[in-house]
A and B are shown apart, each in its own frame.
Chain A
Amino acid sequence: MAVYRRGYQRYQGPLTGYWARFLVAPRFAWERLFQQRQVVILLVGAMIWPLFCAVFIYLANHSELWAGLGGGFKNFLEVNGKFFLVFMNAQAVFAVLLAALAGPGLIASDLANNALPLYFSRPMSRPDYVLARLLVLIGMLSLVTWIPGAALFFMQVGMAGRGWFSENWRLGVGVVAGFLIWVLIVSLVALACSAYVRWRVVAGGLVLGFFFVLGGVAKMVNTVFRVEWGSVLSPTAAMYQIWCDMLDVETPLGLNTAECIGTLVVLGVLLVVVLERKLRPVEVIS
């Protein structure tokens, strides 16, 4: 018998559809992420603040429970833009920590183990791969950002009534949209760091350092030039300004929202460029 007649046969079973193919990678990645104890602990920790906020909303809508505590307390217990801004600030920190913990392992280990050729030798393009990795992070960060945010908003709507909703629907949109922008930026930063540094642990540190150092740089520019626009260099400050605008809260930063949006767009493009340059299926030896 000729050797070729004993060769392997091509897989004949059903194929994952073209549009759903990039979902294969996240499915297994999520599974692996939730097996990490640190990720689970951080996820649980990230739910504490939303729980406090839920209690706050409950109290704000049950004035009979604190009737004797005076007007000052009433002003304090108000569910408004400021309330959601404080909530978003706290959850944003958890999102960064989670991204620093879970993000680097997504690409760094593929690069370190030369696994990219394996991915790209299958019907999966580089954009598919990035999208798949991005989905892993966006999915996980959503659990601590816009999902609890939307839950709190609808809890307030449920307790305060339709009138409150018609007056404040912008808050709900602001929370979800604001968080989605932040989640996208943080995920891109985590993936870019992961692609830039092949050592997973250092990539995690770099994600944290990125936000720390850019904050410092922004402050430095403001101090040396005696201006306020330097804050746009910090993604955290730029995001804060956009959130303030979305939630109709006065901001102390004195920034222009359009410039902040521009900064985040430029940052996003730069991060995509880093990913494009680093995710090559072959090692180039110089």
Chain B
Amino acid sequence: MTATISFRARQACTIARVELRRAFFSKRSFWVYLLALFPAVVFIGHGIEAKIDRQRWSAKGFTPAALLDGIKQGETSEAVRGRLGTPVSDEKWDHRRRVLREGSGKDSEPRVWEEKREQRRRLTYFDGRRRADLWFENGVLRSKSIRPLLNLEEDRQVFAGLFQYFYLRLAIFFGCLGIFMNLFRGDMLDKTLHFWFLAPIRREVLLLGKYAAGLVAAVVIFTGGALLCFAAMLWPHDPGEVQVYWQASGLSHAFWYAAAAALGCVGYGSVFLAAGLLLRNPIVPAATLLLWEAINGFLPATLQKVSVLYYLQSLCPIPAPMDNSAPAFIRMLLSPAEPASHFWSVAGLLALTALVLVVAARASRRIEISYSTE
């Protein structure tokens, strides 16, 4: 039988079908689901918490918004309670720490340590929409935070950060590492790769079949996970507010998040598939790639464009908020390059993937069965 393109496509489909079962249901890929679905679980938890708080606090009565806005630093807890009434939540605890006694340790004085005890308290008030958390130290207001119980704008920012920092940099990166490297190296570890090599198929077809299986699994798991997380983020909010957002830009945001997740799987998948074929120890290139992607923001604009992350971030509809806990000098060094257009992002990633797959296909023709060295 002369092999035609359609025949080879059928072979690739058969391989993909077999591999899909493994990619989705093998015990080894269980942790990938955890990675993909955990953010959604966290957002669902957040939604449930907000709904329970609203219900519980509403039953206790609202504090007028003007009173909340009038609270000043330095007020005592009793004064605040006197003016605003009983809070919806009141927590007290003691904080102990060892500190240098005043005056000791200076010049040639020996250091003397003493234990310092502080009484801390947190009062929470609720005006029906916003919650006010007031922190007291030894009865005096140290800090306050007044914010809506649920803030869609803020949650969208949180999701944008979570998507870029967790999904793109960690979950999809490590998930693809696990899924795609397992395609060939897993077979070698199980001593079953010869099953495929002894069938009348070109190595390139085998590679494509396996890649397709890995890609379908990764896209379903991670795009599904990201969209589920997006839905979980919207779920507790006011339906009217959500509808307005959905009609304005929500649908397009969801689409581009899904596209970025899917293209992340396409790009990282091809890189890890090739790494698994070319190198006996794929952790080294994986660590190198992780480092390259991590320092990407510190590089000159031209170099930033030589990374998968740059194109994926360009597809994201909302830029990720800067990490405020990062030291100031690190934030100063960050100079994000101008994002690429959606067209060039998609085209760039697909071109990179095609190139990597061609290299992988050439490498696949030289693979030999040598299980004993695995």
Contact = CB atoms under 8 A, between A and B. Distances in A.
Please determine if A and B sit in direct contact within the complex, based on CB atoms under 8 angstroms apart: yes
Interface string B160-171: 011001100111
- A contact patch SS: helix
A252 B170 CA distance: 25
B174 interface: yes
A85 B25 CA distance: 44
A150 B209 CA distance: 56
Interface stretch (A9-17, A130-138, A203-211): A203-211
A167 interface: yes
A225 B49 contact: yes
A216 B165 contact: yes
A126 interface: no
B177 interface: yes
A220 B165 CA distance: 9
B305 interface: no
B185 interface: yes
B42 interface: yes
A112 B373 CA distance: 12
Contact of A220 (B162, B189, B374): B162
A243 to B, nearest CB: 14
A173 B98 CA distance: 16
A115 interface: no
A48 interface: no
A128 interface: no
Interface string B184-197: 01100100000000
17 contacts: A163-B110, A167-B110, A167-B113, A199-B374, A202-B283, A205-B286, A209-B174, A212-B174, A213-B35, A216-B166, A216-B169, A220-B38, A223-B162, A225-B45, A248-B98, A248-B99, A250-B97
Given A201-B281, A204-B283, 15 more contacts: A167-B110, A167-B111, A168-B111, A201-B280, A201-B282, A205-B287, A212-B174, A220-B38, A223-B158, A224-B42, A224-B46, A224-B158, A225-B46, A248-B113, A250-B97
The 6 lowest CB-CB distance pairs between A and B, nearest first, are A205-B283, A167-B111, A216-B170, A248-B98, A224-B46, A224-B42
Interface of B: 28, 35, 38-39, 42-43, 45-46, 49, 97-99, 110-111, 113, 147, 158, 161-162, 165-166, 169-171, 174, 177-178, 181, 185-186, 189, 280-283, 286-287, 325, 374
